[in-house]
Amino acid sequence: MEYSRLDLGDTTDLRVSVVRDPMPTLISLVADVYGHRPQGVVEPWRRLVRESARVDAAAVLHPMFAPRTPVLPDCISPLVHDHGRAADPTDHFERIRETAPAVLLGELHRIFGADLPAQWRPVAAAPKRWLHGVAEVMAGTWSAFAPVWNRASALFDREFERVGSAMVRSASETVFLGLGSRHRYKDGVLHIEDRYPADFSLQGRTLAFVPVVSSSAPTLCELDDPHQVWLGYAMPGQGRLHSSEDYVPPRTDALGTAIGRTRAHILRMLTAPATMSDIAAWINATAPAATYHCRQLEDAGLLTRYRHGLYTEVRRTLRGEALIDLFR
């Protein structure tokens, strides 16, 4: 797999935001379900989307995710901005519907040149019909998935705090290292899995982190906007959204019985990244004892450890989040 490179420059002087925007989540959903571009969407959510869709949804969206399509037309791509509140996806659907055919055709020729690929020629022949079809599929997907998105409010609050805390502590690399399997970070350069790789530089632009609620391995980003770079990545803790059931607190510590009380306590306390010193203090133990317990949890896939110079930072994985939810 190839990777685009984003040179971040001086990581101690980044302008960063966390943006709550549902459109990257929706794009990831339809790419996985209809576009044959795996994003790590769990089967219950794939089924939820399919059951909400019009019969020809896959055919309508096919050009967007066909092999020879490197990027989406601007009129379809999410307009990610930090408004200090969640964006309204219905505004995006309306923008797609109202796009002039000439605008879409101009964008397609800018991407592909004069000779459009075969999958885009039917779109060029009836652009308005296609735009309305895309908006309808997106709106139907949102209608089905909105209840899941709305349950993610607490996860967004925690993510704002987690990223903000890392930046204040000059520990931005902990955020970059935790973006997921489609990203690699080393020495101030972020490598992003990309079917059409290129080199980019942040060069003082704002860097927006956009948590994606629907997918465990999304591949979404915007790297060439002159004002802002945004990165879509899997929302930490989204495993707890896989069920809409209310969890009943157990009468006994079932999680402690399953994995041991000390390890259960560590896992519950990791609501945000922590150091090994923090963990040793939580369990009133020596550093080697804390390391032993964390190694066991890491071997089980319940947490990850990252070495940063003189200290190690620990955070829960999606599996760890799901296990905690299971035993609530």
Per-residue tokens: 139: 């709106």
Q: Which amino acid is at 248?
A: V
pTM greater than 0.85 (yes/no): no
Tokens of 195: 């079917």
The vertex-23 CA angle with 302 and 83, nearest 5°, equals 100
Provide the pLDDT for residue 313: 87
The token duo for 292 is: 């032993």
pLDDT for res 289: 87
Which pLDDT value is given to residue 236? 86
Supply the pLDDT for residue 307. Answer: 84
Please tell me what DSSP assigns to residue 115: S
DSSP secondary structure letter of residue 315:
E
Q: How far apart are CA 262 and CA 272, in angstroms?
A: 18
Which token pair is 64?
A: 């967007």
Q: Which amino acid is at 135?
A: A
Kindly state the tokens that stand for 150: 């709305």
For the chain, domains (ranges, CATH) are 3-20+153-239 (no CATH), 25-150 (no CATH), 247-326 (1.10.10.10)
Provide the pLDDT for residue 216: 84
- Look-up of token digits 């652009």: 127
| pLDDT of amino acid 8 | 96
Where the chain has pLDDT below 70, the residues are: 83-86, 243-252, 328
Neighbouring C-alpha atoms within 13 Å toward the C-beta of 181: 10
Burial class from Cβ neighbours inside 10 Å (0-12, 13-18, 19+) for residue 34 reads buried
pLDDT digits (tens, 9 = 90+) for 212-263: 999 888 989 999 999 999 999 999 888 778 754 433 344 467 788 888 888 9
Strands (E), the chain: 3-7, 16-18, 183-186, 189-193, 199-201, 206-212, 221-222, 228-234, 274-275, 303-308, 311-316
Which pLDDT score is estimated for 1?
Answer: 76
Look at residue 310 and give its three-state secondary structure. Answer: coil
End-to-end CA distance of the chain: 39
Per-residue confidence (pLDDT) for residue 247, from 0 to 100: 37
Q: What's the token pair of residue 174?
A: 């902990």
Scanning the structure block, which residue is given the tokens 């794939």? 46
